Structure 1
Amino acid sequence: MKAAVLETYNNFVWKEVVTPKVKPGEVLIRIKFASICGSDMHIFPGDFHPRTPIPFTPGHEMGGVVEEIGEGVSGFEVGDKVAVDPIIWCGKCPACLRGHYPACTSLKLVGVDLDGGFAEYISVPQHMVFKTASHLPDEHVALVEIYGIGFHANNRAETKDGDSIAIWGAGRVGQVILQAARTKTKSTIFMVDPLDKRLEIAKNHYENVITINPTKENPVEAIKKYTDGKGVDIAFEAIGHAHEFDGVPTPIRACIQSIRGAGKVVVLGLGDDPAPIVFKELIWKEAKIVASRVSHGEFTEVIEHLNAGNLKPEALISKVMHGSQIQQAFELVQNESQNYLKVLLDFSS
Structure 2
Amino acid sequence: MRAIVTDGTGDIWEETHDRPEPDPGEVLVKVRAVGICGSDVGLIDGEGPPWTEYPLVPGHEVCAEVVGLGEGVDSLSVGDRVALHGFIYCGTCTACREGRYYQCADLREIGFTVAGGYREYAAFPAYTLAPIPDGISDLEACQIDSAACTLHAMKRVETSVSDTAAVLGPGSLGLFGVQLLRAWGVEDVILTGTREERLAVGRDLGATKTVNVREEDPVEAIDEYTGGDGVDVCVEAAGAGDVVNTCLQIAAKQGQIALTGVFDGNREIDPNDIVAKELTVVGGVTASHAGDDVIELFERADLTIDGIVTHEFDLADYDEAIESVQERRDGVIKAVLRP
Q: Which residue of the partner structure matches residue 33 of structure 1? A: 33
Q: SS in structure 2 opposite 1:283?
A: helix
Q: Which residue of the partner structure matches residue 171 of structure 2? A: 171
Q: SS in structure 2 opposite 1:68?
A: strand
Q: Which residue of the partner structure matches residue 313 of structure 2? A: 321
The 8 Å contact of residues 165 and 189 in structure 1, kept in 2 or not, is answered as: yes
CA distance in 2 between counterparts of 1:271 and 1:338 reads 25
More divergent stretch after superposition (275-284 vs 209-218): 275-284
1:23-50 deviation line (CA, Å, top 9, x unaligned): 2222211110001011110111233488
Answering whether residue 48 of structure 2 is matched by residue 69 of structure 1, we say no
Give the drift of 1:319: 0.7
Q: Please report the TM-score for the alignment, with normalisation by the length of structure 1.
A: 0.89
Answering whether residue 217 of structure 2 is matched by residue 218 of structure 1, we say yes
CA distance in 2 between counterparts of 1:223 and 1:7 reads 42
Q: SS in structure 2 opposite 1:313?
A: coil
More divergent stretch after superposition (176-185 vs 124-133): 176-185
The 8 Å contact of residues 241 and 271 in structure 1, kept in 2 or not, is answered as: yes
Paired residues in the alignment total: 338
The alpha-carbon distance between structure 1 residues 7 and 280, as it changes in their structure 2 partners (threshold 3 A), is closer
Answering whether residue 155 of structure 2 is matched by residue 155 of structure 1, we say yes
Q: Which residue of the partner structure matches residue 305 of structure 1? A: 297
Q: Which residue of the partner structure matches residue 227 of structure 2? A: 228
Q: SS in structure 1 opposite 2:306?
A: helix
More divergent stretch after superposition (15-24 vs 316-325): 15-24
1:257-285 deviation line (CA, Å, top 9, x unaligned): 21222111111222234323222222222
Give the drift of 1:221: 2.4
1:308-332 deviation line (CA, Å, top 9, x unaligned): 2221112211210000111121122
More divergent stretch after superposition (251-260 vs 100-109): 100-109
The 8 Å contact of residues 102 and 295 in structure 1, kept in 2 or not, is answered as: no
Residue type matched to 1:217 in 2?
E
Q: Which residue of the partner structure matches residue 86 of structure 1? A: 86
CA distance in 2 between counterparts of 1:201 and 1:284 reads 35
Superposition pairs of residues 1-349 of structure 1, within 5 angstroms? 1-6=1-6, 9-48=9-48, 51-54=52-55, 56-91=56-91, 94-206=94-206, 208-242=207-241, 250-336=242-328, 339-347=331-339
The alpha-carbon distance between structure 1 residues 134 and 52, as it changes in their structure 2 partners (threshold 3 A), is same
CA distance in 2 between counterparts of 1:16 and 1:215 reads 44
More divergent stretch after superposition (127-136 vs 95-104): 95-104
Residue type matched to 2:177 in 1?
I
1:190-213 deviation line (CA, Å, top 9, x unaligned): 11112111111101232x521001
CA distance in 2 between counterparts of 1:285 and 1:195 reads 31
The 8 Å contact of residues 29 and 65 in structure 2, kept in 1 or not, is answered as: yes
The 8 Å contact of residues 195 and 213 in structure 1, kept in 2 or not, is answered as: yes
CA distance in 2 between counterparts of 1:278 and 1:328 reads 41
CA distance in 1 between counterparts of 2:279 and 2:63 reads 39
Residue type matched to 1:231 in 2?
G
Q: SS in structure 1 opposite 2:155?
A: helix
The 8 Å contact of residues 151 and 181 in structure 1, kept in 2 or not, is answered as: no
Residue type matched to 1:316 in 2?
I
The alpha-carbon distance between structure 1 residues 164 and 103, as it changes in their structure 2 partners (threshold 3 A), is farther
Let me know the Cα RMSD of the aligned residues. 2.2
More divergent stretch after superposition (144-153 vs 212-221): 212-221
CA distance in 2 between counterparts of 1:264 and 1:277 reads 16
The 8 Å contact of residues 7 and 54 in structure 2, kept in 1 or not, is answered as: no
Give the drift of 1:230: 1.8
Q: Please report the TM-score for the alignment, with normalisation by the length of structure 2.
A: 0.92
Q: Which residue of the partner structure matches residue 245 of structure 1? A: none
The 8 Å contact of residues 150 and 178 in structure 1, kept in 2 or not, is answered as: no
Give the drift of 1:63: 0.3
CA distance in 2 between counterparts of 1:87 and 1:182 reads 29
Residue type matched to 1:218 in 2?
D
CA distance in 2 between counterparts of 1:130 and 1:143 reads 13
CA distance in 1 between counterparts of 2:306 and 2:218 reads 28
CA distance in 2 between counterparts of 1:235 and 1:113 reads 31
The 8 Å contact of residues 63 and 83 in structure 2, kept in 1 or not, is answered as: yes
Residue type matched to 2:44 in 1?
F
